[in-house]
Amino acid sequence: MSEAVAYAVDADGVCTLTLDLPGKSMNVLNLALQSGLRAGIERALDDEAVRGIIITSGKPAFVAGADLKGMGGGYDFSALSDAQLLEQTLSLSMDLRRLETGGKPVVCALNGTALGGGFEIALACHYRVVADDPAIMLGLPEANVGLMPAAGGTQRLLRLIGIRAALPLLLQGRRLNPAAALKAKLVHEVVAREKLIETAREWLLNRCDAVAPWDKKGFKVPGGAGSLNAELNGFFLFNNAMIRAQSFGNLPAPEAISAAVFEGAQLPMDTALRLEAKYMVKLMRGSVSGALIRTLFLNKEKADKLESRPEGVEKVTYRKIGILGAGTMGAGLALHAATVGLEVVLLDRDQASAEKGKAYAMKRLGRDVEKGRKTQEKADKILARIYPTDLYADLADVQAVIEAVFEEREIKAAVIGKAMAVIPEHVIFASNTSAMPISGLAEFSVRPQKFIGMHFFSPAERMPLVEIIRGKQTADETLVSALDLAQAMRKTPIVVNDSPGFFTSRFIGAFVSESLRMVEEGVLPALVENAARMVGMPMGALAISDSIGLELSYNAGLQQARDHGVRTPPLGIIGKLVVEHQRLGLKSGKGFYDYEADGGKRLWPGLEKIYPPQAVQPSIEEVKTRILYAQLAEGARCFAEGVLVSVIDGDLGATLGVGFPTYLGGPFSAIDTLGVARVVAECDRLASLYGKPFEVPQLLRDMAAHNQTFYGLKAVLSPGGHNLAPPR
């Protein structure tokens, strides 16, 4: 028998197949596990002594899904024909169909999490028992990585609970705990962990049924199926409209899943399984799943595990930190840090302001308690970790300080000086700034080698990214300590070198600036905003500017101008709205948009009076191209200039930090997908029409000339000579 699957038969004829990949902390569906499962199924079905089969796991989790690491992100199936790829995709599906129709009852004893293909194994069993543990997650999350279930998941789920209930679970990739799975009728029983195998055996010996419901004569899909069902037709029309409205056709997986459910429900099971696999092959041939897997799964995991952290440097175990500034950012950071178990000294200019920051945490936690996401006891423990104060002396025993005060150099200089006077020499000082050069701020510190930038994103309690900025005098030990702090705060870190705007602010600035420039040119604001959504941005640049605050953006622009010796810069579009029209953004109820009390909004009609529309408007495709390629060009410049030391960090920073379309995987993944030569040619065209924002660095031209890419076997070396992307 395979090492990956243990085979045992007891005196009652109960065969137990225990999935247990050797040398792995959890089971994943790779070739070894699938081969072992196939061999175990055949042996059990052929063994006359076997009355029934239990499938369980020898690890804490059942099966965590497909081996995405093995896929590598951007995996290449070009050597396989469509027929070969279809048969490869169908292999697990056929194994499970053999299990399901083999004539012997099968029960799945789910001792831990079962996701994706792991849960598809469970669905192919005639009975499902799960341990009563709220940490266990069950579901089919393939849509989240641009794929779909392809081992019968779409077809069994719709036949089990009906199309209306199944489709949202598939499209959203929802994960359910055992209680929720039982309520949704995805499992048959939830039992105490110690009774899991006992319950499975009892069902096999006394209550078993070796035929799935959909293989019984007269079976009908719960709730109906077929194109003649008027109610279901309406449901699918609404569903398809919602998918198109949300993705603008950029995400093929939801459309493939919906089609497989609609069509498969009308077919015999074996035909439906082949249909499902055909739709999966189309997704595997595309670029979206590879980009999503590489950036949001593989590369994010590397960053979270601090794989680039130097070996031999002692790890800092954080217990207590200080946060300077109890405004929206500081209060959000305090809430998040306390939630993950850190003690927080939250300091502001006076006690009332500091208490207001803690009140923010109290309000957010109260909402969680009301909605049942937290108990009052847990909320109280979190609040108890936040200590509001106006005394700098209270920072004397913290292990790190994060400054999150207003984005003005003089204010930051004052708090830096006061904090440095009391914190121990070994403590790092991190400035949360979105654009101010860290090397300049470090001049206000008596220990610039202990000074670093940590740019968090709002709302800090939800956004997963932190951009760590290394100043000119930042010591190696300080950088490592900042990485340890990011991990302690459960944030995904990227590391960049110092420059005005660093990477993320420069990158989103390219998107915002080009969008605003189009409005100034007379392109209709609605056209610009809608084009951004169609590209895949979560919102248009005008809405983003309003949410940030026009006054804040205007003041930041003034500060940058002063830093470059310009005392009175000309008013741009934001300056005109702030200074001449007193439109300050979302918080004031009026900016590029007018905001209604009920939450509605509409573009301010006065904008077209300031910037009259062109008589002939550009095509939507041209506007989309300008929005996308302005960002690609800026990303390439950041890399060529050495602001970015890793394209992995660039892709993570763009997608997790500032909303670059995830289906593209980040700017560098997108350039690879589009083709470097094509990107250079298109940027040259755009630069000839619209100027400097589309100029590409010589590095990109050299890459095109030598057929190099940012990822893979032909990955370009960084300007510093370091290979940034290991071959996949």
Q: Which of 262, 286, 310 is the last residue of a domain?
A: 286
315 in a structural domain: no
> Are 649 and 592 in the same domain?
no
Q: What is the pLDDT of residue 674?
A: 97
301 in a structural domain: no
CA distances to 34, 102, 181, 589, 597 from 586, in Å:
53, 62, 40, 5, 11
pLDDT digits (tens, 9 = 90+) for 202-215: 999 999 999 999 99
pLDDT mean over 90-98: 97
Cα–Cα dist 397/395, whole Å: 6
Residue 71 binned pLDDT confidence (cut-offs 50, 70, 90): low
294 in a structural domain: no
- Cβ atoms 306, 453 nearer than 8 A: no
> Are 605 and 657 in the same domain?
no
pLDDT mean over 485-489: 98
Higher pLDDT, 516 or 715: 516
Residue 726 binned pLDDT confidence (cut-offs 50, 70, 90): very low
Q: Which of 240, 264, 286 is the last residue of a domain?
A: 286
Tell me the angle at which helices 620-640 and 504-521 cross, rounded to the nearest 10 degrees: 150
Q: Residue 484: CA atoms inside 13 Å, Cβ hemisphere, count?
A: 20
Residue 60 binned pLDDT confidence (cut-offs 50, 70, 90): very high
> Are 603 and 624 in the same domain?
no
Residue 687 predicted with pLDDT over 60: yes
Q: What is the pLDDT of residue 435?
A: 84
For a pLDDT cut of 70, what percent of the chain falls above it? 97
Q: What is the pLDDT of residue 434?
A: 86
Q: What is the pLDDT of residue 571?
A: 80
**CATH label of the domain that carries residue 454:** 3.40.50.720
**CATH label of the domain that carries residue 647:** 1.10.1040.50
> Are 137 and 276 in the same domain?
yes
Cα–Cα dist 431/478, whole Å: 13
> Are 481 and 348 in the same domain?
yes
Domain membership of residue 535 as a residue range: 524-610
Q: What is the pLDDT of residue 558?
A: 82
359 in a structural domain: yes
> Are 266 and 193 in the same domain?
yes
Which residues, at least 6 apart from 602, have a Cβ–Cβ distance to it below 8 Å?
593, 594
**CATH label of the domain that carries residue 241:** 3.90.226.10
- Cβ atoms 258, 240 nearer than 8 A: yes
> Are 61 and 196 in the same domain?
yes
Q: Which of 231, 263, 286 is the last residue of a domain?
A: 286
Q: Catalytic amino acids?
A: 455
Residue 363 CA to its chain's centroid (Å): 26
CA distances to 82, 252, 514, 517, 713 from 691, in Å:
44, 34, 11, 11, 34
Residue 719 predicted with pLDDT over 60: no
Cα–Cα dist 526/529, whole Å: 5
Residue 440 predicted with pLDDT over 60: yes
383 in a structural domain: yes
> Are 78 and 58 in the same domain?
yes
**Neighbour-count burial for 640-668, b at 16+ CB within 10 Å, e otherwise:** beebbbbbbbbbbbbbbbbbbbbbbbbbb
Cα–Cα dist 345/392, whole Å: 10
pLDDT mean over 308-334: 94
> Are 598 and 676 in the same domain?
no
Q: What is the pLDDT of residue 36?
A: 96
Cα–Cα dist 649/128, whole Å: 42
345 in a structural domain: yes
518 in a structural domain: no
> Are 697 and 571 in the same domain?
no
Of 497, 547, 537, which Cα lies nearest the Cα of 514?
537
Q: What is the pLDDT of residue 717?
A: 65
Higher pLDDT, 703 or 719: 703
Cα–Cα dist 115/68, whole Å: 12
Residue 493 predicted with pLDDT over 70: yes
Residue 115 predicted with pLDDT over 50: yes
Number of compact structural domains in the chain: 4
Q: What is the pLDDT of residue 229?
A: 84
* Length of the chain counted residue by residue: 728
> Are 540 and 418 in the same domain?
no
Q: Which helix (H) or strand (E) holds 240?
A: helix 230-247
In this prediction the pTM is 0.91
309 in a structural domain: no
> Are 372 and 490 in the same domain?
yes
pLDDT mean over 488-510: 96
Terminal-to-terminal C-alpha distance of the chain: 31
